[in-house]
Amino acid sequence: MGHRLTRQELFNLVWSEPVQKLAKRFEISDVGLAKICKAAQIPLPPRGYWAKVEARQSPPKAVLSIRFPGHSDQVQIGRFDRAWNAPDEPPVISPMPHFDESVDSLKVRVATLVGKFPKRINLDAPHHHVARCLAEDEIRREEAKTNKWTWKKPMFDDPKMRRRLTVANALYYCLANAGCQPQRFSFDADEYPVKVGDSFMNFTIRDGDKKPRYDGHGAAPLLSDRLVLEIQHFPPAYGLQSTWNEVEVGNLSKHIVAIANALMVGAELRLRAWEVQRHESSVLELARYEEALHLQKLEAKTQATLKREREAKLRIATLLRQATNMQEADSIRSLVSAVLSGKSDTAASVDRVRLSEWEKWANGIADQIDPRLLSPDALMTSMTDVEAQG
């Protein structure tokens, strides 16, 4: 069974009892719980802490650090697998998130994490993800020397492509120094993913718009060999910059720190928006669940009413049929009596044996359908059988 706690709740637990005991409550290993705490940036008591507590000492207690930008405040322990045939349960409303840190304070903290302008603005010591692309490009270059027909041409001999990779390399170093995790990108792609806390952000570096044909009227068009860097899926609120066009801002290398700040702030704002959306979605899901449950109860009530009405109609129909059977039983007995009285003066040649057999059979039929010969329990049983058939 899974558990969801806030970072503060888990911090209080791991500092209230040893991890070995706490892990048993969560049905995981102490190593697994320690890894979860490390991923959530929750410090654990140092070696010898609980021995000092048992000795009635007061060892210093750590302080929970502020959440890294883009990192969720929720910690999940275990899995929430649910069997396909498990009964329906009401959805749980996720708590409404509360963020103590203002956006302005967030910007200041992110600026402190990012620091100053990075030193590596060239490819002399590339980031390992960038180095992989350069190594692949070198392989292509060597292959092109021996096979001029190969379609795998080196990509970063082009000055603009190399400058694009240089900007990505500087951003990767800057973000990695701030505590983010740059991710591997495709060799020939213009999109670069970065993990900020628990959030994934992407930025693209592409060519500017193509140069329009100059018709000789008006101002000459701008050159199209400039680059454009854009942060993808950037939260639209707060009016933060998400696009840097070299036509407007100049060389991208001069804006590495500003772009890194925007990426980290954007990751935190996206996380906050997602937390609020998750809360609102859980409220709507619970409302839909309760509405469906209400409709089910109304449907069950309607079906129960219809069933009672059908049963009442069937009971009346059964009663009328029993009355009809009683009349038919009396008619059969009257017929038998009339036939026997009419045959009393007939000649001796009449087969009395066969007549007696017919009389016995006819009276038996009358007895079978005559409800007066049934016990009250049998009468009610017959009604129940009819209801079940209905």
DSSP sequence for 305-319: HHHHHHHHHHHHHHH
Is the pLDDT reported for residue 228 higher than 70?
Answer: yes
- Percent of the chain scoring above 70 in pLDDT: 88
Q: Please state the pTM of the whole predicted model.
A: 0.73
- Nearest 5°: phi and psi at 245? -105, 125
The domain ranges of the chain are 3-82, 105-280, 300-389
Token duo for residue 266: 């954007």
Mean pLDDT over residues 39-58, rounded? 92
Residue 222 banded pLDDT, cuts 50, 70, 90: very low
Give the neighbor-by-neighbor strand order of the sheet with 199-207.
Answer: 181-182, 191-196, 199-207, 227-231, 243-245
Residue type at 57? Q
Checking if the pLDDT of 16 tops 60, the result is yes
Write out pLDDT tens, residues 273-323: 999 999 999 999 999 999 999 999 999 999 999 999 998 998 898 889 989
**Token pair recorded at residue 275:** 């937390």
How many whole angstroms separate alpha carbon 123 and alpha carbon 126? 5
Average pLDDT over residues 355-370: 91
**For residues 297, 303, 307 and 310, what is the CA-based torsion angle, rounded to 10 degrees?**
150
Closest CA to 120 of 246, 256, 264, 243: 256
For the stretch 95-135, pLDDT in tens is: 888 888 999 999 999 999 999 877 667 888 899 999 999 99
**Cβ neighbours of residue 227 under 8 Å, at least 6 residues apart?**
160, 163, 164, 167, 205, 206, 207, 208, 246, 252
DSSP conformation letters of 152-190: ---STTSHHHHHHHHHHHHHHHHHHHTT-EE----TT-S
Structural element, H or E, at residue 302: helix 256-342
* pLDDT for 182: 95
**Is residue 387 over pLDDT 80?**
no
Q: Which residues pair with 77 in a beta bridge?
A: 3
**Confidence grade of residue 221 (pLDDT, cut at 50, 70, 90):** very low
